[in-house]
Amino acid sequence: MMANVLTSVILLVATAFFAWHEQGQPWTPLRLAGALVALVGVVLVLIARAQLGKSFSVTAQARELVTTGLYSRIRNPIYYAGFLVISGLAMYLRKPALLGFAVLLIPLQIRRARKEAAVLREAFGERYDRYRAGTWF
């Protein structure tokens, strides 16, 4: 529970910092779209993190197979949402290099997802295979 609160606080403080840092800048369509994309990403990260509960870990571990909520459709919603956050910030801050960073993260996230899948497959076997067949990424 404490890790959920800490994750939430860090994301909300970072979001508030970027909003404060850019105050006074004109709201162009690109900045507005970026803010909305980043906000959606932050909300999805917070929801996914809360839904993982005690199953969250930095390294691949098989504590429990979470298959409800966002995890009923997407196997790795935190990775997907993180991409949205970084992409949204790139647009909001008008920093194309951040978008390049987001694109560079894709292969790393795919690699992490494959490692996690192997650990979950080993622990949960056919149950994980059925879950994986019905979800995306």
For the chain, the straight-line distance linking the first and the last C-alpha, in angstroms and rounded, comes to: 26
Asked whether residue 23 is assigned to any structural domain, the reply reads no
Structural domain contains residue 77? yes
User: Total structural domains in the chain?
Assistant: 1
Ramachandran region of residue 69, left (φ > 0), alpha (ψ -120 to 50) or beta? left
pLDDT tens readout for residues 25-59 = 888 999 999 999 999 999 999 899 999 888 777 66
Residues paired with residue 74 on neighbouring β-strands, in sequence order: 136
Nearest-5° angle of CA 34, CA 40, CA 44? 145
Q: Which domain holds residue 100?
A: 2-18+28-133
Q: Measuring CA to CA, which residue among 1, 94, 13, 83 is closest to residue 50?
A: 1
- What's the pLDDT tens digit per position in 87-137? 998 998 888 888 888 888 889 999 999 999 999 999 999 999 999 999 987
- The rounded distance, in Å, linking the Cα atoms of 125 and 123 is 6
Average the pLDDT over 17-30 and give the result. Answer: 80
Whole-number pLDDT of residue 5: 65
The more confidently predicted of residues 3 and 21 is: 21
